[in-house]
Amino acid sequence: MSDASANIPHYDVIIVGAGAAGLMCAITAGQRGRRVLVLDHANRVGKKILMSGGGRCNFTNLYSTPENFISANPHFMKSALGRYTPWDFIALVEKHGIGYHEKKLGQLFCNESSKDIVRLLLAECAAAGVTVRTHSPVRIAQTGEPYRLVTPQGELSCESLVIATGGLSIPKMGATGFGYELAHSLGIPVQPTRAALVPVTFDGRKLKQLQDLAGVSLDSVTAADGVEFRENLLFTHKGLSGPAILQASSYWQPGQPLQIDLFPDMDLVEHLRAQREQRPKLVLKNLLGERLTRRVAQRWCELWLENKPLGQLSDADIEQVAAHCQPWTVWPSGTEGYRTAEVTLGGIDTTALSSKTLACRDHPGLYFIGEVVDVTGHLGGHNFQWAWASGYAAGQYV
């Protein structure tokens, strides 16, 4: 270190971003005896944890596997996920006496509040001797060991610099492009980013046709780009949401359709043929309403189908019904974007990072963890699992 830097407070590790990944990395490094400082520009830590899971934080998923993640390199996350499993985080939750339950599909939620998870992380940070500072925007003044940072509290230096600033979703909560911008400035490749786990929107005629169905929820198998999700969809004032749509949105590209099977587990053509024999006087709207709700069945008949008694349906009519329901093919005009997206697809290109340590190959001492990396989980606790696992992995090496 030069004379000029002799008076600058020095840490072994500085982590930028006190979210899920940053705090987990801090705990792991602190437990190894490293002198760790976490800096966040927001007025409190873990804001996304607090708002997650409807206030109850879906903190992991019992069935989290690499197949639940999207990345240009589908193997990259395997190493970290294998070394910090959902059971490791569950053990931490149990150690802190936090009640939790499985909602569905392996999704674990706090019984009481997301605040319990933030308290857990801060308690573990305190026990590991980690310093956490909020209201601390950061400028990086020097890259390379030692790294030098400028903060409102003055200059700092560190041996390892960890970028855990997350993605672009929900700017109101403090999301910034800090990690991507730093990468660009250092020539580190970044996979294109876009909003994911996000409602899709309609415009023009389609919006008018469907807008007043807002609030109706239906079972579905929703597919985008050939990837299917069996979950509920929800009509909204702007388009479609609900878990099926959020999941599919991560695979949807502008200009592409969504294929929505509104009669999962059923061959609709066969069903209609059988019902034509068994209940010939029943009108189509009422039959469809048994699955689609009365409002949706009514609208489908107004828009696309003739509301005849089943006995009068020709085979061609039946094919026509199936063509609008199994699947119902819709062409969204866009998504609600980062304003409401749960996550950001893309990010720091994994070719630049070690999958074991999350360290930058060409920049010794620099690490990227969590959502800022090009690893995006499905809905259901997988994104936090990646944050814990990547934070833990880097925390062992910083």
- Residues of this chain that interact with ligand FDA (CB under 6 A) are 16-22, 39-42, 47-48, 51-53, 57-58, 137-138, 164-166, 169-170, 174, 176, 178, 342-343, 370-371, 381-384, 387
Report d(CA 311, CA 277) in Å as an integer. 7
User: In the bound complex, what is the minimum distance in angstroms from residue 224's beta carbon to ligand FDA?
Assistant: 19
User: In the bound complex, what is the minimum distance in angstroms from residue 16's beta carbon to ligand FDA?
Assistant: 5
Residue number, nearest CB to ligand FDA? 19
User: In the bound complex, what is the minimum distance in angstroms from residue 27's beta carbon to ligand FDA?
Assistant: 13
User: In the bound complex, what is the minimum distance in angstroms from residue 374's beta carbon to ligand FDA?
Assistant: 12
The secondary structure of residue 153, as a DSSP letter, is: T
DSSP secondary structure of 169-230: S-GGGT--SHHHHHHHHHT--EEEEEEES--EE--HHHHHHHGGGTT-EEEEEEEETTEEEE
Residue with tokens 């992991």: 60
C-beta of 276 vs 382, nearer to ligand FDA: 382
C-beta of 53 vs 199, nearer to ligand FDA: 53
Phi-psi region of 376 (alpha: psi -120 to 50; beta: other; left: phi over 0): beta
C-beta of 211 vs 340, nearer to ligand FDA: 340
Q: Is 328 exposed, middle or buried (0-12, 13-18, 19+ CB in 10 A)?
A: buried
C-beta of 183 vs 260, nearer to ligand FDA: 183
Show contacts of 172-178: CB within 8 Å, 24+ apart. Answer: 172/339, 173/42, 173/47, 173/48, 173/51, 174/40, 174/41, 174/42, 174/47, 175/338, 176/41, 178/16, 178/17, 178/138
C-beta of 327 vs 347, nearer to ligand FDA: 347
C-beta of 71 vs 259, nearer to ligand FDA: 71
User: In the bound complex, what is the minimum distance in angstroms from residue 256's beta carbon to ligand FDA?
Assistant: 24
User: In the bound complex, what is the minimum distance in angstroms from residue 66's beta carbon to ligand FDA?
Assistant: 15
C-beta of 21 vs 92, nearer to ligand FDA: 21
Contact 341, 170 (CB under 8 A): yes
| Strand-by-strand arrangement of the 334-335 sheet | 328-330, 258-261, 217-224, 227-235, 239-241, 200-201, 334-335
User: In the bound complex, what is the minimum distance in angstroms from residue 47's beta carbon to ligand FDA?
Assistant: 6
